[in-house]
Structure 1
């Protein structure tokens, strides 16, 4: 295969801030570690709202400044909020959606990510609710995505399939972040999820998982992890891949550079 074809096969890689360690992000701020992501060769950097030291860092002026610093490093931004699109009773959380869109706009993010949320048996999928959601999403310059979480509520394949199945066929405004590891916390098969949901995936959070039950931990996939490679092969190749597993604390930037290069070509 010639070099041009190899280059065409590479995926954009995003470094999720938490990969450098939550304590480091809270101590130093996102901008310091965005510079590390840039040096590691990443294309994007995911800002995590839950890692802000205080609410002042979530104010629009602070977000604009952070976004400018990320852009000056040659990176584009993802804005991740722990808020959920749907409330615990399954209803749409309009306020959470509006706030996420507004904060992502201040940051200048390309993608804004929320948890799916909802009740254990799913989310509202009636036409009025979905129309309200899509109307709000249409105001967003950033792509709005919902992620599978680690709880049954917002973490089941059926909940995502029901939501996307109820959306108008031409509605691509709402898509998903497919987290390769979170399905296991929710008791779901990542491979089954990929087979059913791949057409709706526009961002992939990459990690392996070690441990059992509630005592599971995110870890880096091994280079020869055939199961992880098979899972990636089920998902779209032309969407960004985010590194959400922890880097080697003793040498985070050199580990980051190696992982970026590996994941781009995996």
Structure 2
């Protein structure tokens, strides 16, 4: 039995995904996702999030290349998340059906379990008229992967009210769910705990990170040991959805990158 297999068994519970960017954007672009997916497997992760913006070129986003990457991720004993920076809604609040279709097609090629887009829209929210919602649900119905939208770092696509209004307008079985990013709310000047209380029923995936600094100098960091606020936030979210690590691993003189990744996987699972 491999070390990563032991850690997964001992963990018993929440699945943990390592987001590719946790290894460093430059490292992913230089070495490719498959190289770092192996590091995620060694760390005991259950899944690996492929980031479209970190693919080296457009050729890597073609169906054949994504299928090869998906096969390599699966061979490592991991399942895949496919993340695109594309927004589900245009800047004017209207549905971007083409972006949804492309994300779904690329996720299918990768054989991803989850496909993640940004919400987009305006600071006031997104279109929720019946015709728009029908087109949205028809598009989602074509996806084998779970379709989720993430709260971003801008107020356009990053406010609690925008997500609240969209999910309130959708039927319960719409097929759309949410990636709840614990840190991005701070950039958008929203209260993460209020967001968790209001949006928890719609959350299917959690991006985990703490935030250090203020204003434009904010940056993602690992939650501190005994971080009561972070623990309380997670306690208000579903405990049976995957948690993604989206803060940088920090190797040092006394700890390797692999060792820090393994430590962080265990910590996020245990919070």
Cross-structure match for 2:219: 217
Cα distance in structure 2, aligned partners of 1:8 and 1:220: 19
Cα distance in structure 1, aligned partners of 2:226 and 2:31: 34
5 Å matches for 1:114-133?
114-133=117-136
Secondary structure at 1:214's aligned position in 2?
Answer: helix
Asked whether 1:255 is paired with 2:260, we answer yes
CA contact (8 A) 2:79 2:113 kept: yes
Q: Deviations over 1:220-248 (max 9, x none)?
A: 00121111011000000000000000001
Cα distance in structure 1, aligned partners of 2:44 and 2:121: 37
Asked whether 1:13 is paired with 2:51, we answer no
TM-score scaled by length of structure 1: 0.96
- How far apart are residue 10 of structure 1 and its match? 2.3
5 Å matches for 1:1-266?
10-171=13-174, 173-250=175-252, 251-266=256-271
- How far apart are residue 7 of structure 1 and its match? 6.1
Runs of 4 or more, structure 1, over 3 Å off, are 6-9
Cα distance in structure 2, aligned partners of 1:252 and 1:60: 31
Q: Deviations over 1:7-40 (max 9, x none)?
A: 6862000000000000000000000000000000
Cα distance in structure 1, aligned partners of 2:229 and 2:81: 27
How many residues of Structure 1 are paired with residues of Structure 2 in the alignment?
260
Structure 2 unmatched runs, 5+: 1-8
Structure 1 unmatched runs, 5+: 1-5
TM-score scaled by length of structure 2: 0.94
- How far apart are residue 170 of structure 1 and its match? 3.1
Aligned CA-pair RMSD: 1.2
Cα distance in structure 1, aligned partners of 2:59 and 2:12: 41
Cα distance in structure 2, aligned partners of 1:57 and 1:257: 28
